[in-house]
C-alpha cells in the first residue's frame, strides 16, 4: 500500500528496521511525548531525544536552533551519508515534529518508522535499555533552511480565507470547550476556539489502530471531504505544533500536496495574541 504514497521513501516499516539493526548507514532516534519511555526501553541502537530539552529553544518560544540540532545529530553519529530514522510513542507525534524540524533545517535523508513504538510493541519486538555507543561527528545541514515549510502568526492571519487552514486538535479544543487535550492541564492560552475558516480534521484520523498511516486513497478522502486538497496552500496547526507536524507529514510527504506549512506557534500563540480573530 505504501507505493500509493507520493513519497513512499519517507517511511520505513518496523519489519525493515528489525532486519537492519546494527546497520551503520542508519541512525535510529526516538522522540516521545513521554521522554521517560526511552530509558525504560527502546529499539536497540536508538538514541533518545527529549522534545522539551532538545527540540525547543531554552529561552525563546521557538524551535531549537539549526546549530543546536546539528550538534544533536552529530552526537548521534549522523554523517553526510547517514539516513536518520525517527520514531516514538503516541503514533509518532513528536517523531513527526522532529522530522518536520529536520526537513525545515535542510535534511533530506530522514524517514519515519511507520507505526512507531505502538507497532513495535504490538509485534512483540525486543527493547533494549542500553545507551548506544557511537562516534560523534561534526554534522552540518547540507541544504538551506526551507522557509516554505513553516508558517508564522502574521502569515496565518494574512491567509485566512485564502489558504486551507487545518485545525488538527480534538473537537473539544476546536469548539473552545477545551484549551488543551483532555488529559492535560487546561492552560496555555487566554481564549478557546479556532482560527476562522479552519476545518477540524483531528490528526489521529490519519492512522490505524496499530499506529500506521492509512492508505493514500483513504487519506485523500479524509482531507478532500473537508475541502482540503492540493489545489491551494494549506496551513496546519494544533496547540504547540507537534500534532500539526504529523498532519503536515501526511499532506506534504504522503499525499504530495505542493504547498503545506506547519504553524508551530499554534493555539498557545494564537489564543493569547492581541489583534487576531477567533471563532467558537
For the CA atoms of 19, 22, 24, 27, the dihedral, rounded to the nearest 10 degrees, stands at 80
> Which position among 63, 96, 101, 238 bears the catalytic label?
238
Sort 75 into a burial class: Cβ within 10 Å, 0-12 / 13-18 / 19+.
middle
The CA-atom distances, in angstroms, between 27 and each of 43, 79, 80, 89, 250 are 11, 10, 12, 18, 23
Determine whether 238 is an active site residue. yes
C-alpha closest to that of 65 among 164, 177, 141: 141
The CA-atom distances, in angstroms, between 179 and each of 11, 32, 52, 170, 275 are 32, 22, 20, 10, 19
* The C-alpha cell that represents 259 in the structure block: 504547498
3-state secondary structure of 44: coil
Q: Running DSSP on this structure, what letter comes out for residue 99?
A: H
**CB distance 93 to 246 below 8 Å:** yes
Active site residues: 238
Amino acid at each position: 500500500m505504501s507505493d500509493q504514497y507520493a513519497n513512499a521513501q519517507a517511511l520505513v516499516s518496523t519489519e525493515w528496521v528489525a532486519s537492519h539493526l546494527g546497520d551503520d548507514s542508519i541512525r535510529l532516534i526516538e522522540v516521545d511525548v513521554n521522554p521517560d519511555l526511552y530509558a525504560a526501553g527502546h529499539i536497540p541502537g536508538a538514541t533518545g531525544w527529549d522534545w522539551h530539552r532538545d527540540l525547543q529553544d531554552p529561552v525563546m518560544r521557538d524551535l531549537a536552533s539549526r546549530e543546536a540540532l546539528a550538534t544533536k545529530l552529530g552526537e548521534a553519529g549522523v554523517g553526510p551519508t547517514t539516513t536518520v530514522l525517527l520514531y516514538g510513542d503516541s503514533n509518532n507525534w513528536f517523531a513527526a515534529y522532529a522530522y518536520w524540524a529536520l526537513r525545515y533545517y535542510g535534511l533530506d535523508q530522514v524517514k519515519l518508522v511507520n507505526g512507531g513504538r505502538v507497532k513495535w510493541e504490538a509485534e512483540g519486538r525486543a527493547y533494549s535499555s542500553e545507551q548506544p555507543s557511537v562516534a560523534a561527528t561534526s554534522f552540518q545541514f547540507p541544504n538551506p533552511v526551507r522557509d516554505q515549510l513553516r508558517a508564522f502568526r502574521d502569515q496565518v492571519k494574512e491567509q485566512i480565507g485564502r489558504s486551507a487552514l487545518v485545525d488538527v486538535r480534538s473537537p473539544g479544543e476546536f469548539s473552545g470547550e477545551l484549551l488543551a487535550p483532555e488529559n492535560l492541564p487546561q492552560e496555555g492560552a487566554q481564549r478557546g476556539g479556532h482560527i476562522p475558516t479552519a476545518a477540524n480534521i483531528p490528526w489521529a484520523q490519519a492512522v490505524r489502530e496499530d499506529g500506521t498511516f492509512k492508505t493514500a486513497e483513504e487519506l485523500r478522502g479524509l482531507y478532500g471531504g473537508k475541502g482540503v486538497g492540493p489545489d491551494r496552500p494549506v496551513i496546519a496547526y494544533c496547540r504547540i505544533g507537534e500534532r500539526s507536524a504529523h498532519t503536515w507529514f501526511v499532506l506534504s510527504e504522503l499525499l504530495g500536496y505542493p504547498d503545506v506549512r506547519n504553524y508551530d506557534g499554534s493555539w498557545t500563540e494564537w489564543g493569547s495574541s492581541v489583534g487576531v480573530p477567533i471563532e467558537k
